[in-house]
Amino acid sequence: MRPLREGTIVTVTSISGTPARRWAGSLAAWAIPPEILAQAPETPWGCPTGLFARSAEEAVAPSAELSPTARRALEMLPDGGSVLDVGVGGGAASLPLAPPAAFITGVDQSPAMLEAFAGLAERRGVGHAEVQGTWPEVENKVEPADVVVCAHVLYNVSDLEPFVTGLTDKARRRIVVELTAAHPQAHLNPLWRRFHGLERPTGPTADDALKVLGEMGLEAGIERWQAPGRWESAPPEELVTYARRRLCLPPEREPEVAVALDELFEPGPRQLVTLWWPGTAG
């Protein structure tokens, strides 16, 4: 993984309009038309637990390189410190922090994700706790931590301000957020056009999230970097099934989806962004 440029501290202010409202409106545009959704044989939402578990295993492998997100968290994490991971998945954002972290609390709405995180934490001898639910609804169920991390969650959050406020209130030292530079579903837009004749949105972006932070008066650091594609190590059939479900197509159309993926996509790095700002917990 390599940074595209050195991390810098920036203060963002809203020039016109409301960044938070623009963020929410951009996410609302991703709603699947009712007539397409009604034909879906299974829910197009959710992410495969195996994918996130595999990402966590790779992140804690002896040969793994620390990501910019991990480095920014470690800058403010004391020996024996605590981490809160909101949207923990398999623990890819938080488990590489132990040690020096001695205890990690994982929050996720998926019991399967929490089970995967707990299993890997247990195998690595890391103190851990799990809280099931959505953020910030379960904020009162967790204690403040030295560092709060939140990776690949913001694009699922329409009302960004209370979400960010909850993160900030639970961090004694720093909040570190990781997200893709562009909306993570934008890469499927050619497939929506091919199978449904539907033009999909492209926003919001990480820069739009940064504007919301500025609107809230938060001084945020930003680092732009690259990493291998999340699906590079996944079995091809897993990628096909994932894309087919997202497109609301039945299983018998997977061969067509496989052909389209081969024709429309070329392997390449993901463009990622790490944001960080100070916490306010006592």
The pLDDT assigned to 281 comes to 97
- What tens digit of pLDDT does each residue of 126-136 get? 999 999 999 99
**Kindly report the CA angle at 207 between 202 and 212, in degrees rounded to 5?**
110
The pLDDT assigned to 232 comes to 67
Number of C-beta neighbours around residue 92 at 10 A: 29
The pLDDT assigned to 4 comes to 30
Burial class (CB in 10 A: 0-12, 13-18, 19+), 156: middle
H helix intervals, 186-233: 189-196, 206-215
State which residues of the chain have pLDDT below 70.
Answer: 1-17, 230-233
Type of residue at 243: A
The pLDDT assigned to 251 comes to 97
Residue 243 contacts residue 191 (beta carbons within 8 Å): yes
The structural domains of the chain, ordered by start, are 2-278 (3.40.50.150)
- Give the span between the Cα atoms of 109 and 104, in whole angstroms: 16
The pLDDT assigned to 233 comes to 67
Residues ≥6 apart with Cβ < 8 Å to 140: none
pTM score:
0.91
